[in-house]
Copies of this chain bind each other. A is one copy, B any other.
Amino acid sequence: MKSRLEEILRKVQAGRLSPEKALDSLRDYPYRDLGFAKVDHHREILKGHPEIIYGEGKTPDQIVRIAREIVRKGSNLLVTRVEAPVFARIKGRLKGARYDPSAATVTLVQAPAVQGGGRIAVISAGTSDMRVAEEAAVTAEFLGNPTDRIYDVGVAGLHRLLDQHGTMSRARVIITVAGMEGALPSVVAGLVKVPVIAVPTSVGYGASFKGLAALLAMLNSCPGGVAVVNIDNGFGAGFMASLINHQ
């Protein structure tokens, strides 16, 4: 944007543009240029990562078109929530794309991501929480974070969780993934001194109300140091953890 302003100012200085015409061409200036020049570039630098595609509800065709655009610019590619049959129709058209069925993600890495300052641990309560936990873990790894998985350590069998104390204490950020009663982040946050990102999952039935029970439990988590993302939002947790780990 600076250059456009500069150009105008120089024209005014050179007498090639009257202040009136300059003013006229600058009407809406803060907004227009904000859009095209400054902010867009600013944003790429600012956010420090390529755009990530949320695959659910998109056709294979739409995913391929957006993905190619990203790949063409030399960026790394991450598509979340891609079911296997969708990937089957994608893979022939996206050379080098790699599918992770347990996370339901598609990745294509062209250049290594900037590494974060520590490790991220992803802890899940039950086996049914795995897809969401994997989405979080794959996202974290994609964004340059060494990641440890600690799965199936729900609070009903406390010893299995406590047994992982070593791995937990090596993490700089912890992601906890749990459905049903959502008690895991409360217990974990009481054991560590790092930020805990809590992901409620829709795992459960009846009074779990598709994850509402776990969500409310996590928002009411008693120990400090817990913050919550949307139900089943593994990507959001991985992204947030990566931001923290890159500070």
Q: Of all chain B residues, which has the CB nearest A204? A: B220
Mark each residue of chain A from 83 to 125: 1 if its CB lies under 8 Å from any CB of chain B, else 0: 0000000000000000000000000000000000110000001
A147 to chain B, nearest CB (A): 16
A19 to chain B, nearest CB (A): 4
Chain A interface mostly helix, strand, loop or mixed? helix
Q: Do A29 and B30 form a contact, CB below 8 Å, given A10-B19, A128-B57, A244-B195?
A: yes
Can you report 8 residue pairs joining A to B where beta carbons are below 8 Å apart? Answer: A57-B128, A158-B187, A181-B220, A181-B221, A181-B222, A208-B220, A227-B237, A228-B228
Is the interface on chain A under 10, 10 to 19, 20 to 34, or 35 or more residues?
Answer: 35 or more
Mark each residue of chain A from 16 to 53: 1 if its CB lies under 8 Å from any CB of chain B, else 0: 00110011001011111111101110010011100010
Contact yes or no, B229 A227, CB < 8 A: yes
- Residues 209-247 (chain A) with a chain B CB within 8 angstroms: 209-233, 235-237, 239-240, 243-245, 247
Q: Of all chain B residues, which has the CB nearest A21? A: B9
Q: Of all chain B residues, which has the CB nearest A18? A: B13
Contact yes or no, B229 A162, CB < 8 A: no
Contact yes or no, B206 A231, CB < 8 A: yes
